[in-house]
Amino acid sequence: MDSRCDNSLFIHTSTTYKLFVLVYVDGIIVTRSSSIHVHKVIDALSSAFALKKLGKLDYFLGIEVKHLANGSVLKSQSKYIKDPLDRAHMGLAKSVTAPMISNCKLSKVGDDVVSDPTFYRSIVGALQYATVTRPGI
């Protein structure tokens, strides 16, 4: 069965365990309530595809994963968000509730041309992606 919210998340449920397989382009996460079944799935996938086993998950799609001593995980996107801000020399900028100068006069025709539109689009695109998983940003 696949997830209703994410077409790349596949869920297998039996009476004794649950197995989750998340596939995104060339990245795959396999997790479970039973480690034996994870190894079976990975072995089956390895027989059909060239896989590289990277061990415990620590970074996936811009999300850092820290494994805590009690077995839980802590997810963070701080590195993903900090990287484009650093590239734009805004890593030390202070946050504000409304990120726009209050005395700015807008017009239908802009007069400020972005010096490097490709660079600008890459920064905006990276930060826009972060808002998909963190809408409050």
Domain limits for position 14: 1-55
Query: Domain tally for the chain?
Result: 1
In a domain, 2, yes or no: yes
In a domain, 84, yes or no: no
Question: How do residues 11-41 score in pLDDT, each as one tens digit?
Answer: 888 888 888 888 888 788 888 776 788 888 8
How many alpha carbons lie under 13 Å from residue 11 in its C-beta half-sphere? 9
Q: Considering the entire predicted model, what is its pTM?
A: 0.60
Q: Which of 43-47, 49-53, 122-126 has the lowest mean pLDDT?
A: 49-53
Instruction: With beta carbons less than 8 A apart as the criterion, state whether 22 and 9 touch.
Output: yes
Q: In terms of Cα–Cα distance, which of 45, 25, 27 is closest to 37?
A: 45
Report the chain's mean pLDDT, rounded to a whole number: 82
In a domain, 118, yes or no: no
In a domain, 35, yes or no: yes
In a domain, 29, yes or no: yes
In a domain, 103, yes or no: no
Instruction: With beta carbons less than 8 A apart as the criterion, state whether 66 and 74 touch.
Output: yes
3-state helix, strand, coil in the chain (%, to 5): 30, 20, 50
In a domain, 9, yes or no: yes
Question: How do residues 83-113 score in pLDDT, each as one tens digit?
Answer: 999 999 988 888 777 767 778 777 777 666 7
